[in-house]
Amino acid sequence: MDVAHSPWRPPLIWRIALLLARAVVGLLARLEVTGDIPARLRGGPLILAANHISPFDPVVLAAACRARRVAPRIMATGGLFRAPVIGAAMRRAGHIRVDRGTSGVHRALDDAAAAVGGGAAILVYPEGRIGLDPGMWPERGKTGAARLALACGTPVIPVAQWGCHEVLPYQAPKGLLRGVARALVRRPTVRVHFGDPVDLADVTPGVPGAARRATDRIIDALTDTLAPLRPDEPDRPRHVDPGRPVDTSRPHRRRPAAG
């Protein structure tokens, strides 16, 4: 659908949180942000599709988005919204609750569509969870982000990140203090790259299989955007988190390049 949009104005609490995120990341890591969002897209509507590798991701992505002058509404797990203090802050900041594994999960897509219709940028994790691929490459994605993009005609920008797994362990808050102490001493490099918009022009909404084709294309773009951030770790990450499980049931098979 083609609708006139006015930019979504992030609430004060979210603007403050973006500044705090930059300070927290600066304390625990060396942040390198590359790539950009085209000026015509920065004000929204826009979908930012990020890989998910660590509980520290949201903080790093908030800091990176602050550096690129965009304040997205985050689609986040319902567990965060149920927390007494964090949940209230998430709601006041305008973020979108995703109750995975319940009958209410479809409401999140409706809420996201309404947010996009209101001119907002939305940050989504198309994998639907912290990825458990043994090489920490993007997994086969869920179709929600693609269905949102196709239904609303919204541009999708892949946002790849690498290094967050060296700050907080997978099982955080278990091991949180140890991870933070190690990061304070080592200050690992965390890289975030905003890639080129994903070309979905030839994917027709409503055609059988369209959402899956668009999803695979988004994950392809995420994989391509991530690769330059880990050139010396092509197969397995150097940093091994012993508490991180491995799941090989959702591998993403990169489609052959056209031509």
Judge if the upstream peptide bond of residue 11 is cis by omega within 30 degrees of 0: no
Predicted pLDDT at 2: 44
DSSP assignment of 130-172 equals: S---TT-PPPPPPSHHHHHHHHHT--EEEEEEESGGGTS-TTT
Predicted pLDDT at 6: 57
* Strands (DSSP E) found in the chain: 30-35, 46-50, 73-77, 96-98, 121-124, 156-162, 189-194
pLDDT level of residue 101 (50, 70, 90 thresholds): low
pLDDT level of residue 80 (50, 70, 90 thresholds): confident
Is the pLDDT at 103 greater than 80, yes or no? no
Predicted pLDDT at 7: 66
Could you report the per-residue pLDDT of 211-252, keeping only the tens digit for each? 999 999 999 999 999 999 999 999 999 999 999 999 999 999
Is the pLDDT at 104 greater than 70, yes or no? no
- Calpha distance 131→42 (Å, rounded): 27
- Calpha distance 80→162 (Å, rounded): 23
| Region at 210 (left for phi over 0; alpha for psi -120 to 50; beta for the rest) | alpha
- Calpha distance 34→21 (Å, rounded): 17
The Cα-based distances of 203 to 131, 140, 146, 153, 216 in angstroms read 26, 18, 10, 11, 12
Predicted pLDDT at 257: 53
Is the pLDDT at 259 greater than 50, yes or no? no
Could you report the per-residue pLDDT of 176-209, keeping only the tens digit for each? 999 999 999 999 999 999 999 999 999 999 899 9
Q: Residue 150's closest CA among 203, 75, 91? A: 203
- CA 226 from chain center: how many Å? 12
Could you report the per-residue pLDDT of 33-61, keeping only the tens digit for each? 999 999 889 888 999 999 999 999 999 99
Could you report the per-residue pLDDT of 239-249, keeping only the tens digit for each? 999 999 999 99
Could you report the per-residue pLDDT of 124-170, keeping only the tens digit for each? 999 999 999 999 999 999 999 999 999 999 999 999 999 999 999 99
- CA 62 from chain center: how many Å? 10
Predicted pLDDT at 189: 97
Q: What percent of the chain has pLDDT over 90?
A: 75
Q: Which residues contact 178 (CB under 8 A, 6 or more apart)?
A: 169
Structure tokens at 10: 């992030």
Predicted pLDDT at 206: 86
* Strands (DSSP E) found in 146-254: 156-162, 189-194
- Calpha distance 38→45 (Å, rounded): 12
Predicted pLDDT at 3: 45
